Amino acid sequence: MVGEGISVGEAWELIRKVLNKIDKNSTNLTHFPHITQNAKWITRVDGDWTGGFWVGLLWLSYKLTDEKRYEKLAYDWLKLLEKRKKDRTPDLGFLFYPSFALGYQITNDAQLKRTALEAANTLTTIFNEKANFIHDEKSTDAGKIGQSAIDFMMNLQLLWWAHEETGEEKYHQIAFKHSTSTIKNLIRKDGSTIHVIDFDLKSGDTIRKKTEQGYSNDSCWSRGQAWAIYGFALAYEATMENSFLETAEKVSAYFVRKLPQDYVPFWDFNDPKIPNTVRDSSAAAIACSGMLTLSEVAKKEEFKETVHKILDSLSKNYWAEKGDGLLKHGCYHKPEKLGVDESLIWGDYYFVEALEKSRRK
């Protein structure tokens, strides 16, 4: 079952269109696609924080078709990404889970596993034990501070996977502590999320909570909400910890309550210009795939209808007939006017991931 409103035939027609675009992009691209400008990919030589999603799309194409050319393409792009495994950035999960870890799951290639584990090891080195957060270091006039974000819940996917593969407790402990600290600091009582927390590196004390990509410090940035949905669904799957399930359900319920009629959210749920503002199709794709995982691991049906309606709407109303990307009407960083009403490589990845998951049901 693919979803209410999408027949099996329509699903395979959509997959065919996905593969046609990926074929075209794989011929034209020499660097990693990031976001589009005027529907054409802006690329990054080193992959920025998003290079793993392009490789992930190639792996999903291989998984959907069994065509070896997609496997070969994925391996070719992996060579360009591998050098990032020592980068001390929270984005290692985004970079190495859809590329090396997913590739290992599909091919059972031990070298891909080794590289993904090296990246996971690097990720453990930027955990602050005072704040219990994986973090970035930021320079301010007063000196260096730590910064964590709701996005980082999704980067934990690499650590949950590493623990499952190796049994090493360090991966589990860090991911668990980060998830618990996120509940305490970045989830509001109503189920909405705060984007960013700055903290003192030595004491772990909170300096401020704010947004960087949302409308305001008190608003709810829809993609951040989607990262929380998926991140806590994965945390529950890895631990069976009730607080993670309760949080996953809470943030999902908030997301669903705030959806407009076509089931694709505006870029920030609290933008006063709604409905005369932009959507973020990538937030819809991430939440859709996350709620599919939540429905499966928690054995609950409450979000399935919404999942099918999101996937239906993305497929029929947000498919980019023109341009390089798969989904139109994504919004990367509205305050900075980056990738506004464009295609976003992560939106494309999670859309195809959700489609592939639904196809298996």
Residue 354, helix vs strand vs coil: helix
Distances (CA, A) of 149 to 187, 195, 276: 11, 6, 28
Residue 181, helix vs strand vs coil: helix
Q: What is the DSSP string of 308-326?
A: HHHHHHHHHHSB-SSSSSS
Active site residues: 91, 151
* CA dist., res. 302 & res. 291, Å (int): 10
DSSP E strands, 38-101: 40-44
Q: Report yes or no: 236 and 248 within 8 Å, Cβ to Cβ.
A: yes
Amino acid symbol at 296: E
Minimal CA–CA distance to 160: which of 116, 191, 196?
Answer: 116
Minimal CA–CA distance to 85: which of 53, 50, 118?
Answer: 118
* CA dist., res. 49 & res. 339, Å (int): 15
Per-residue three-class SS string for 210-239: ECCCCCCCCCCEHHHHHHHHHHHHHHHHHH
* CA dist., res. 112 & res. 235, Å (int): 23
